Structure 1
Amino acid sequence: MKIALTGGTGFVGKALTGELLKEGHEIVILTRNVEEKTNKENIKYVQWLNNDDHPETELQGTQIIINLAGESLGGRRWTVEQKQRIFNSRMEANGEVLNMINKLEQKPLALINASAVGFYGVSESKTFTEKETKPGNDFLAQTVEQWEETVAQAGEQYGVRTVFCRFGLILDKHEGAFPRMVLPYRLFAGGTIGSGRQWVSWIHIRDAVRAIVFAINHDRLEGPINFTAPYPVTMKEFGKTISSVIKRPHWMPVPAFALKQLLGEMSTLVLEGQKVLPVKLEANGFSFKYPTLPEALTDILQ
């Protein structure tokens, strides 16, 4: 198939590109700086999101669009300006994807769009599945709701099957937030973050990529899909598992007030959480390669 991919140079995008190439797909990666990229076998780089760009001219015959573009949630402290960048970057990308679909004579079969479990808000007591339709009331929940409402127009206006990939914490050895979470343990200074009771809904990078491919190939999957492993854990258990796998002590707690001082509102990403289950993926036959945290961390850290 011909597959268009935005955010293809991010850590999920790079891993996904490798998987799609293994399956023999033709990949078109949309990027702001095409002059810095070199086309390779079955990979073509096309410029977008700049004035006078017309990426749709290179996308005729595209069967799948995967949109992973947007400012990282955990990249910088959430100042007023940074929160606006987080919101605007996704809205700009989502709007341009809809614009491209509108201009394509032959509409794609599916749009697979990045989203986040932050939609559900935070809770220590609730368990969230895709049946939950009411978003939380914090910044991230309200932002995710608007991202998804925009992308939903692909289905409403053009009849394109649309999937919202509500990613949990994606575990990767070198990229994303996880290496920063492991570092204190490597320095013999690891311990429980905040109360330790907050839930961490996580997924191994390989399972995240496999689940995207699964969503491409299973046309019954649409709407919100939780991209999380079936066994979420509390932050305390998360830290103890890191400690056990890399054989470092779990002893130095990180108080909530210190993280709030350091990270500001962004501290909610680690001090608060939600217990999220991948009901739709499992109901449709997806099998996780790394369903439990010890399995995932053993693969990543050893």
Structure 2
Amino acid sequence: MKHWFKIFCGLLLAGQAVTAQQAFTIIPLGVKGGLDESNLSSYLLQPKGGTQYICLDGGTVRAGLEKAVANHLFNGNAGDVLKRQVRAYFITHPHLDHVEGMVQNAPDDSAKAIYGLPFCLDVLKDKYFNWQSWGNFANEGDQPALGKFHYMPMDSGVSTPIPNMDLEVTAYPLSHSKPGRSTAFLVKHQDAYLLYLGDTGPDALEGGGNLQKLWEAISPIVKAKQLHGIMIETSFPNEQPDKSLFGHLTPRWLMTELAVLEGLAGQGAVKGLHVIITHRKPVGDNEATIRRQLEQGNTLGVKLIFPEQARALKL
């Protein structure tokens, strides 16, 4: 009897360990890198045990929430979810396919903070919320400033606690056609991490070494098996000429960069790591080709995930 009791307890503890490993829920509101305005880069993220979300980029908001409600991921309607459960936006860069939904829905949104590096918030202030492109629903800029959104500039490499959410977020600059024109957000919940990258090209083409610096910063948590996933773009298939990437990655370049990360974290350190492929350009058969080339080139053994709009991920 004692033998079977020990086995039962072992299985129970193993089950608890598996449960404890999940730290984040991600609900993609949009996954594509252009063209389809109803499915552009935007991801809700919730820490385990939480009830509120942050929104990583805001290309598509309401259309994604409507599909999430239809898929029974939320109760109520899309507008109520946006107002009551989405606490803040984290914007990687101000290109339209990453901010359109946030800007468009501002009149019916609730009060929120917009976090980002200063270059990004300056463009939102000067080019979008300026009473020419759109009303100024923020707390700074052209008057009258309606004050619904509050700009929260982040310092590169400095952890920022998110009030009442048991989350900390650190911003790192990325290169996107120009050095420092995009952002990666490292999200921390207790001892678990998730890395979300905005648009970026490889260091070999972009210069500046921003990905190298990012990989150096996260390699200790990769080595410690605390990183639950990397959300990173692959916009074009390998056939896209380097001169026409415009600050984006291909499957070959992504695997090259992940190999740099493995070199820093140790041989085999990225094997089994969740790598969520974002920002696929929906031109022709690009998406299918990108998927095939990533799977064929995955000599590092990462776990590739291709997110779908309004389909939850548990990491």
The bucket for the TM-score relative to the shorter chain is 0.3 to 0.5
TM-score w.r.t. length of structure 2: 0.33
* Structure number having the greater strand percentage: 2
More helix by share: 1
Taking structure 1 as the reference length, what is the TM-score of the superposition?
Answer: 0.34
